[in-house]
Amino acid sequence: MERVLVTGAGGYIGTTLVPMLLEQGYKVRALDRYFFGRDLLGQHDDLEIVKEDSRRMPAEVLSGVDYVIDLVALSNDPSGECFQQATWEINHESRVRTARLAKQMGVKRYILPSSCSLYGWQADGVIVNEESPTNPLTTYAKANQKAENGAIELADKTFCVIVIRQATVYGYSPRMRFDLAINGMTYGAWKTGKLPLLRDGTQWRPMVHVRDTSGAMCFLLRADTARVNGQVFNIGSEANNYQLLPLAELVRDALPVDVKIEWYGDPDNRSYRVAFDKIESLGWRAKYTAREGALELYDALEAGRTDKTLRTITLQWYQELVNWHKIIREVEMYGGIVDL
Ligand SMILES: NC(=O)c1ccc[n+]([C@@H]2O[C@H](COP(=O)([O-])OP(=O)(O)OC[C@H]3O[C@@H](n4cnc5c(N)ncnc54)[C@H](O)[C@@H]3O)[C@@H](O)[C@H]2O)c1
């Protein structure tokens, strides 16, 4: 059996990807700080949990590993701006370090899950592909760009490196994120009948379902080395390239309730329309529509399988943990609070 090390395994994508890998017959070593909870991955004979910080990960974690999928990150722009130093350390430095260690330890293939947000802002009418100049605008996007460059440099005959630039992800996952566009829209519509839409609605954003992007990673573990080594692939589909107002209208019309669109925020300075021909030329296709993702999430909310809590808003949860860390350090004595 082949073994995959997944970092950031306890996150939104990781908690969908890990069961998929197990189902496909891989052994999985799941490394994470488990900021969002350890219980989300469950238990499995072929699943090994490693609670570790990617910045301090010892080389032995890579022993017996065939593939690495390096999901670990502070995973959005607001977290990147709030925790800039940590974003450079985790999203850029730790991932290049992990790629380097992986190469030294004889790992065959390393996949870096980056983001289409590297395209930043593009003029109307421009459709970017993997050869287009990037335009990273935020700390998060800049750190991804550096991680991409650092990882790709390591590709050679014995070490296959693949970068994927994921569209904005949506859909139900055990570690839920309501700070992502379609998920946040669906939640607002379900909870209050008000669908939040970031101004001014003309910005382009590609979308991809969490099971599709996870499926793409599984697909790329098996793809022909000659066609993928040292390469970047956008992950998404032309059908899921949206301007946000039509996307909001689509979500509104899909749901079985009366929904009003409510604007929020300053006008978004990110807009990118993306081509996905390169990954499709390998034979991979996204399966899920935005409508299906919104409906599936609506059903999960109705059934009580998920809800919006602080934990589902990435930045708020990290801020909460940092605040409680301060408070606990002040009141903790002899390793306890009320009980010793
Ligand atoms: N979700 C999206 O829309 C999207 C889009 C493009 C790219 N990405 C990228 O995909 C990857 C996964 O995203 P996600 O949505 O699952 O994010 P997430 O925040 O849900 O998951 C990240 C995981 O990393 C862990 N983590 C953070 N710092 C760590 C550290 N120093 N050591 C160990 N673990 C640590 C967290 O506990 C969390 O479980 C990230 O690299 C993200 O930037 C996501």
Q: Ligand 1: distance of its center to the CA of 230 in Å?
A: 22
- Backbone dihedral angles phi then psi of residue 114, each to the nearest 5 degrees: -100, -155
Position 324 in a domain: no
The CATH number given to whatever domain includes residue 292 is 3.40.50.720
Q: Give the whole-angstrom CA distance, residue 273 versus residue 189.
A: 26
Q: How far is the CA of 334 from the centre of ligand 1 (A)?
A: 34
**Residues 57-75: what's their mean pLDDT?**
98
Instruction: Flag whether 163 is in a domain.
Output: yes
Q: Is 64 left (phi over 0), alpha (psi -120 to 50) or beta?
A: left
Candidate from 5, 6, 7, 12 with most ligand 1 atoms within 8 A of CB, to mutate = 12
Which protein residue has the closest C-alpha to ligand 1 atom 21?
Answer: 11
Is position 132 within any domain?
yes
CB 72 within 8 A of CB 94: yes
**Which residues form the domain of 272?**
3-316
**Global pTM exceeds 0.75:** yes
**pLDDT at position 315:** 98
Span from the CA of 113 to the centroid of ligand 1 (angstroms): 9
**Residues with C-beta less than 6 Å from any ligand 1 atom:** 8, 10-14, 32-36, 53-55, 71-73, 75, 90, 113, 115, 166, 168-169, 175, 177, 180, 314
What is residue 77's predicted lDDT score, i.e. its pLDDT?
96
**Rounded Cα distance, 89 and 24, in Å:** 32
Average pLDDT over residues 278-298: 98
Q: What is the pLDDT of residue 328?
A: 97
Compute CA distances 101 → 71, 94, 137, whole Å.
Answer: 16, 10, 29
6: which 2 tokens? 């997944």
The tally of domains found in the chain comes to: 1
Ligand 1 atom nearest residue 9's Cα = 39
Q: Is residue 329 part of a domain?
A: no
Q: How far away, in angstroms, is 12 Cα from ligand 1 center? A: 7
In angstroms, rounded to a whole number, what is the distance separating the alpha carbons of residues 49 and 51? Answer: 6
Is 336 domain-assigned? no
> Mean pLDDT over residues 45-58, rounded?
98
Mean of pLDDT values over 229-245: 98
Contacts of 75 (CB under 8 A, 6+ apart): 8, 11, 12, 140, 314
The H or E element spanning position 198 is strand 194-198
Q: Give the residue whose CA is nearest to atom 43 of ligand 1.
A: 75
